[in-house]
Structure 1
């Protein structure tokens, strides 16, 4: 059998030539067997960190206390970790004690799921101690050893397991399902940042609806921030997440599906960045506007081309708009956007200084009001974006304002 990880071959060769064992382990082997894109290639070895550092020219001590050294080779980092065992997880994440061990078997025993406890030697032979290949063939997620023990070590494994069901379209083993239900409350001990990372990937998976179903079935959803009373109904279970194209679109669909109105409160509880909160809030607002009316040049202009398309995708994902018409709706947005005389306020021929000069007035709320009205009139084709034309328009605007006051 050929060794498929050509980029890591030299690293294994260097370790083996100096008398150490070395294997590619974990997700890279799993993804190779699944014919999925391979991103990170991790190496497990009998060499200790000091040995690894001495054997390679460029290394970074990313986690020496846990036996991990990043080897820079061919412009890429490869994490090389000493065979190890772990005991005690008082903080539900980091082991209290890490011991370097002598064999690959001992190292593989500490891993979370059978599909991640696979290794490949330099000849291409796969080492599979826990029937990970059979689980891949049966498309199921099972833990290495007792599920309760693996979860108690690091409860985030609950979210990882459910996330894998989404990404890989696998089922969850019966024992694991029961353990997730029993241990679901332990998720409250996990930092929300780690949970958020798993949710982002879960919502992007092809099996997201099945994964959401598991979250509710195991009551794990109720251990997550602000979701204590979440209920699964058609608003969420009917969402076609595959239509959506960004993290923010998927979060918006998730909140809409659950009927969560206070995006700011949710964003704060989940420790989103301000930019993520802003984008999700805006998309929810835009799809609400879009539910009530078709796009116009003005509404597309103020939404922006990309966000207008995203709002239509949200409506299609929730079934308000027929997905078959989505490409047509996208083309309409493109045409409306192209028809706009301007695409941002910075393109206005007149600036605030022009209005101050023409009016002889001091800056005040009136200035923002006049620029906003001008922007709308130009977008709607009522005024040409020309400085002389705008000056005449402004004089008429002043007269109108005086009459109204």
Structure 2
């Protein structure tokens, strides 16, 4: 068993000592539901009412809530996160202490904050992110996050309809922002680059309806990674009413046409083209910016008419025939 020494930085104890007292170890825990122990000889040891709080679905600090949060400010976000994962209420004294000690969150690393916020968003009740704002905790996470977190419960509730996937839930939370702003908020939280990139794409694109026409759908497929295209359709389905009136019906057609495009194996990326840069150079085109522009122009033709994806046709369309570049 362990006993923590004095907390000097609002996050880590100065020292940790070992003890033979189980009770002393349990006193150092954050919440009553995490301060229970059991073995086959003595049975359940529950000195702080953890079982009762479990039955009553309550998050309550062990002892003084102010002291527990002062020791480690990350416990503030853990309280909200547990309430979201378990759908428990936060006991009044514990809730009040969150607002009181919230400024200490400035002492917590952004990485640890991001981990707790992500677990909250991935829970069964992501709408409880509102508690981070209501308690004033959001102000001490970062100024951009504080501004973005001012969402109503109604605006947050649809997040639970999104798949419990990190980039999807963060994109849903930040959907009111511009793409670059959303990326900046996540960058400040030391989020991984893949999540930042995916969130930026979704936040930038979800408001733009996709026309229920195969060329338009193939262009969107060309512009974003394949799995993210499916994520975009899912995202737009959840927020279809915000995209535009009646867009939900259009989206069903878009999904059906997308499946036909995939089933037919239509080319949607440069790697699918019947020619590549080496083919163009072999046919007489010099390397340089013009080569890339030509490939993109050919790709545009093929996105419009997949049947044009033939080597001979594309070389002629590029102004190349018999290995000689025509003027």
Q: What TM-score, normalized to structure 1?
A: 0.70
* Distance (whole Å) between structure 1 residues aligned to residue 315 and residue 178 of structure 2: 48
Per the TM alignment, residue 354 of structure 1 is displaced from its structure 2 partner at its CA by 1.7
Higher strand share: 1
Residue 215 (str. 1) matches residue 132 (str. 2): yes
SS of the residue 1:281 aligns to: helix
Per the TM alignment, residue 249 of structure 1 is displaced from its structure 2 partner at its CA by 1.1
CA contact 2:126–2:157 (8 Å) conserved in 1: no
Residues 65-80 of structure 1: matches in 2 within 5 Å? none
* Distance (whole Å) between structure 2 residues aligned to residue 272 and residue 394 of structure 1: 43
**Structure 1 unpaired stretches of 5+:** 1-82
Q: Paired residue for 2:195?
A: 276
Q: Deviations over 1:246-277 (max 9, x none)?
A: 20111111111467751342233111222222
Q: Paired residue for 1:129?
A: 47
Please provide the CA RMSD for this pair.
2.8
**Structure 2 unpaired stretches of 5+:** none
Structure-2 change in CA distance of 1:110 and 1:135 (3 Å): same
Q: Paired residue for 2:156?
A: 237
Residues 44-193 of structure 1: matches in 2 within 5 Å? 83-122=1-40, 125-193=43-111
Q: Paired residue for 2:269?
A: 344
* Distance (whole Å) between structure 2 residues aligned to residue 165 and residue 137 of structure 1: 14
Per the TM alignment, residue 238 of structure 1 is displaced from its structure 2 partner at its CA by 4.4
Residues 301-316 of structure 1: matches in 2 within 5 Å? 301-316=222-237
Residues 350-365 of structure 1: matches in 2 within 5 Å? 350-358=275-283, 360-365=284-289
Q: Deviations over 1:137-163 (max 9, x none)?
A: 111100111100000000000000100
* Distance (whole Å) between structure 2 residues aligned to residue 347 and residue 155 of structure 1: 52
Structure-2 change in CA distance of 1:259 and 1:389 (3 Å): closer
* Distance (whole Å) between structure 2 residues aligned to residue 259 and residue 367 of structure 1: 33
Partner of residue 292 from structure 2, selected from 362, 368, 376: 368
Q: Deviations over 1:61-100 (max 9, x none)?
A: xxxxxxxxxxxxxxxxxxxxxx011121112222112121
Q: Paired residue for 1:51?
A: none
* Distance (whole Å) between structure 1 residues aligned to residue 291 and residue 277 of structure 2: 7
Q: What TM-score, normalized to structure 2?
A: 0.86
* Distance (whole Å) between structure 2 residues aligned to residue 140 and residue 330 of structure 1: 43
Q: Paired residue for 2:204?
A: 285
Structure-2 change in CA distance of 1:323 and 1:237 (3 Å): farther
Higher helix share: 2
Partner of residue 335 from structure 1, selected from 253, 260, 270: 260
Q: Paired residue for 2:165?
A: 246
Q: Paired residue for 1:378?
A: 302
SS of the residue 2:190 aligns to: coil
- Count residues with an aligned counterpart: 314
Per the TM alignment, residue 314 of structure 1 is displaced from its structure 2 partner at its CA by 1.9
* Distance (whole Å) between structure 2 residues aligned to residue 123 and residue 101 of structure 1: 20
* Distance (whole Å) between structure 1 residues aligned to residue 290 and residue 179 of structure 2: 37
Per the TM alignment, residue 106 of structure 1 is displaced from its structure 2 partner at its CA by 1.2
* Distance (whole Å) between structure 1 residues aligned to residue 154 and residue 5 of structure 2: 43
* Distance (whole Å) between structure 2 residues aligned to residue 396 and residue 279 of structure 1: 38
Structure-2 change in CA distance of 1:288 and 1:186 (3 Å): same
SS of the residue 2:174 aligns to: helix
Per the TM alignment, residue 343 of structure 1 is displaced from its structure 2 partner at its CA by 4.7
Structure-2 change in CA distance of 1:296 and 1:329 (3 Å): closer
Structure-2 change in CA distance of 1:147 and 1:380 (3 Å): same
